[in-house]
Chains A and B, each alone.
Chain A
Amino acid sequence: MSATVDDIEIREEAAQRRRAAIRRYAKHPGFVIGACGILVLLVVALLAPWLAPHSPTRTDLMNTLAPPSATYWLGTDQFGRDVLSRLIYGAQVSLQVGFFVVLISLSAGTILGAVAGYAGGWVERALVAAIDILLAFPSFLLALALVAARGNTLDSIIVAVAIAYTPRVAAVMRSVVLTIRPRPFIEASRAIGLSPWKIILRHIIPNALPPVIVVATVSAATAILAEAGLSFLGLGVQPPTPTWGNVIAEGQTSITTNPLISLSAGLCIAFTVIVLNLLGDGLRDTLDPQMRRNTGKLL
């Protein structure tokens, strides 16, 4: 290589930019709390077999509905299962749902919205009509109907919730694309002979992603909530698999005597939703240059 000095300088410049970006994120308390919260949840979910003091499905019939003790930190449910262990394993289900729903609805919604926004004409009208119909339909009911039709395995729950949330991403994506389409570099890419697909993938989507990522983060929270709701109704992942929704539902029978069972699962859900929303807000503030001035405020 001839330009070694240049290369080093380029690398230094890039490193500087990266440091500046990291500093921007670090200064945003909401982002930091959200990111740490997600990290904690991830660690808990991944290390569940080591962290959980008991098996989540092992029943201790001598100790049903036990109050918190040194053996069972959060007590046991009516089958004598350790509530804490069930919550720890429940994080696995919730995070899987959140992750895969976002993965599916983000990819599908991005493509649909970008195609609708870029193509215009009847393609756009047809896609927008479809998106609007799905948006007008309550997404939880839609997910409920899809689960009822497809059966309640984890896969089908993820697919159902993802289908219900795709139109949101698509609608946001399209509106952002509409602001990008008239920009001169899009016309320039057409003038240099790029194909429509290349323009969408290389020029439209990368410029439209920041707001869509924010929507996706927040819909991870609603997806987790939706899964908990389905579980609570008995349409989610079936017992004895521990999910937070299942734990709430099972704790319901003894809610007057042992409110801690349902309450602790509810707090898990609330915690997850809050940290995901904080993360989403943090991303919104840091990804959008116009919002950067207001960063740092929590509320």
Chain B
Amino acid sequence: MTAATFELRGLTAAVPGETGAVRLVEEVSLSVSAGETLAVVGESGSGKTVTFTSALGLLPKPGRVIEGQALYNGTDLLSLAPESLRRVRGAQIGMVFQDPLTGLNPVFRVGDQIAEVLRAHLSIGRREARERAVQLLARVQIPDPARRVHDYPHQFSGGMRQRVLIAMAIALGPRVLIADEPTTALDVTVQAQILDLLSELREEEGMAMVLITHDLGVVARQADRIAVMYSGRVVETGRVDEVFRAPRHPYTISLFRSIPDLDAPAGTMLAPIAGAPPDPQRRPSGCAFAPRCFAAREADGCMSRRPLLTDEGHAVACHRQGMLEQAA
């Protein structure tokens, strides 16, 4: 395996709370290499977004990273001065956000906003920036780009706006593209188009891509590797085919069980995961998933000790691992 382009090591981010620091994400380690797509999966509040915003120094105050590293080509972004980090953001690492409807400034023309990214990092003139904005719009398959650069965001549909935001994210040829639920706000037919566009761009540019999502169908189609997050921690990670064939963490297993199956006989009930994820201020002292877990057992320390992620290719953080495998 080639050296990772973007790697998080033991990243822990917290906000101050009434009873000490509340850890939003804990000891997250992930990596992604050029040309590869890593899917980060988890329910709302599991820390998917916080992981990456904190790695790029975008975590809103008073949140901050209290431990760990975020390595981009070997440089720790968290040790960079704000000014140097700013130069990496946008230029080397692009980000696409969840909500394309509000991601663009309503008072400026689309072309000017794309040109702004270019001019923030390159010393090029207005005219050249405008020309390249047109090329970028063409690149993200917006019809009639020479004309659409003059339009305002409200003249674009949701899918088109997401294309514009993608154009802004890839404007400077970043080596890493982080897409945070890029299709959640879009309707289903548009979702597929946007995902196809993203994987096309990733292939052409040889970017490393992080796809944050809670849609396992998207993961199966787009990703090479997957990291499942639960309550601020990575609980399982591995190659997509492996994890999908044989999920090992009870949370992952439950996730797959809760997907509707079109071939199931009529009347079959879905198997939702009972309960809700813990409040980060009141995480159980043992495994955070134990209260909802079908396999948890006190004898194995599920309620008292925090399970650590194993060190293998298909890694899992669960005390009951051995037992589950025997049962399978």
Using a CB–CB cutoff of 8 Å, the interface residues on chain A facing chain B are 3, 6, 9-10, 120-121, 183-185, 187-195, 198, 202-203, 206-207
Answer yes or no: B136 CB below 8 A from chain A CBs.
no
A193, B86: Cβ atoms closer than 8 Å: yes
Other-chain residue from B61, B98, B120 in contact with A192 (beta carbon distance below 8 A): B120
Provide the residues of chain A in CB contact with B169, threshold 8 Å.
191-192
- Contact flag A190-B61 (CB < 8 Å), given A183-B102, A198-B120, A207-B106: no
Answer yes or no: B297 CB below 8 A from chain A CBs.
no
Answer yes or no: B97 CB below 8 A from chain A CBs.
yes
- Contact flag A190-B105 (CB < 8 Å), given A6-B146, A184-B97, A184-B99: no
Provide the residues of chain A in CB contact with B147, threshold 8 Å.
3, 6, 9-10
- Tell me the chain B residues, 130-173 only, with Cβ under 8 Å from chain A: 144, 146-147, 150, 165, 168-169, 171
Provide the residues of chain A in CB contact with B102, threshold 8 Å.
183-185
Bound CA–CA A6/B143 (angstroms): 13
User: How many cross-chain pairs have Cβ atoms below 8 Å apart between A and B?
Assistant: 76
Provide the residues of chain A in CB contact with B87, threshold 8 Å.
193
> Closest CB of chain A to B120's CB: distance in Å?
5
B104, A190: Cβ atoms closer than 8 Å: no
A207, B97: Cβ atoms closer than 8 Å: no
> Closest CB of chain A to B144's CB: distance in Å?
8
10 additional A-B pairs beyond A10-B150, A187-B97, A188-B168, beta carbons within 8 Å, are: A6-B147, A188-B95, A191-B58, A191-B94, A193-B88, A193-B89, A193-B90, A193-B117, A194-B86, A207-B105
> Closest CB of chain B to A231's CB: distance in Å?
40
- Contact flag A192-B108 (CB < 8 Å), given A6-B147, A10-B150, A184-B103: no
B95, A191: Cβ atoms closer than 8 Å: yes
Bound CA–CA A194/B106 (angstroms): 17
Nearest CB to that of A120 among chain B residues? B61
Contact digits for B291-318, partner A, Cβ 8 Å, 1 yes 0 no = 0000000000000000000000000000
Provide the residues of chain A in CB contact with B86, threshold 8 Å.
193-195
Secondary structure class of chain A's binding surface, majority of residues: helix
> Closest CB of chain B to A221's CB: distance in Å?
27
Other-chain residue from A3, A188, A195, A206 in contact with B97 (beta carbon distance below 8 A): A188
Other-chain residue from A6, A10, A192, A203 in contact with B117 (beta carbon distance below 8 A): A192
The 25 listed contacts between A and B (C-beta, < 8 Å) are A6-B144, A10-B147, A10-B150, A183-B102, A184-B99, A184-B102, A185-B104, A185-B105, A185-B106, A189-B105, A190-B89, A191-B56, A191-B89, A191-B90, A191-B97, A192-B89, A192-B169, A193-B117, A193-B121, A195-B120, A202-B116, A206-B105, A206-B107, A207-B105, A207-B106
Provide the residues of chain A in CB contact with B98, threshold 8 Å.
184
Bound CA–CA A17/B311 (angstroms): 61
> Closest CB of chain A to B58's CB: distance in Å?
6
- Contact flag A192-B150 (CB < 8 Å), given A185-B103, A202-B116: no
> Closest CB of chain B to A173's CB: distance in Å?
16
Nearest CB to that of A182 among chain B residues? B60
Bound CA–CA A3/B117 (angstroms): 25
Bound CA–CA A192/B121 (angstroms): 9
8 A-B pairs with least C-beta separation? A193-B90, A192-B90, A193-B89, A191-B95, A184-B102, A185-B105, A6-B147, A192-B117
Other-chain residue from A121, A188, A194 in contact with B103 (beta carbon distance below 8 A): A188
> Closest CB of chain A to B246's CB: distance in Å?
36
Provide the residues of chain B in CB contact with A192, threshold 8 Å.
89-90, 94-95, 116-117, 120, 168-169, 171
Bound CA–CA A183/B100 (angstroms): 11
Answer yes or no: B91 CB below 8 A from chain A CBs.
yes
A203, B91: Cβ atoms closer than 8 Å: no
Provide the residues of chain A in CB contact with B105, threshold 8 Å.
185, 189, 202-203, 206-207
Nearest CB to that of A186 among chain B residues? B105
A3, B90: Cβ atoms closer than 8 Å: no
Bound CA–CA A203/B116 (angstroms): 11
Bound CA–CA A188/B90 (angstroms): 9
Nearest CB to that of B120 among chain A residues? A194
Nearest CB to that of B87 among chain A residues? A193
> Closest CB of chain A to B51's CB: distance in Å?
15
Other-chain residue from A9, A183, A190, A207 in contact with B58 (beta carbon distance below 8 A): A190
Bound CA–CA A203/B113 (angstroms): 10
Bound CA–CA A160/B120 (angstroms): 39
Bound CA–CA A187/B99 (angstroms): 11
Bound CA–CA A9/B150 (angstroms): 11
Nearest CB to that of A193 among chain B residues? B90
Q: Which of B94, B103, B165 has the most CB of A within 10 A?
A: B103
- Contact flag A207-B89 (CB < 8 Å), given A188-B97, A191-B56: no
Bound CA–CA A189/B58 (angstroms): 11
> Closest CB of chain B to A206's CB: distance in Å?
5
Nearest CB to that of A5 among chain B residues? B147
Provide the residues of chain A in CB contact with B108, threshold 8 Å.
202, 206
A3, B146: Cβ atoms closer than 8 Å: yes
Nearest CB to that of A183 among chain B residues? B102
Provide the residues of chain A in CB contact with B120, threshold 8 Å.
192-195, 198
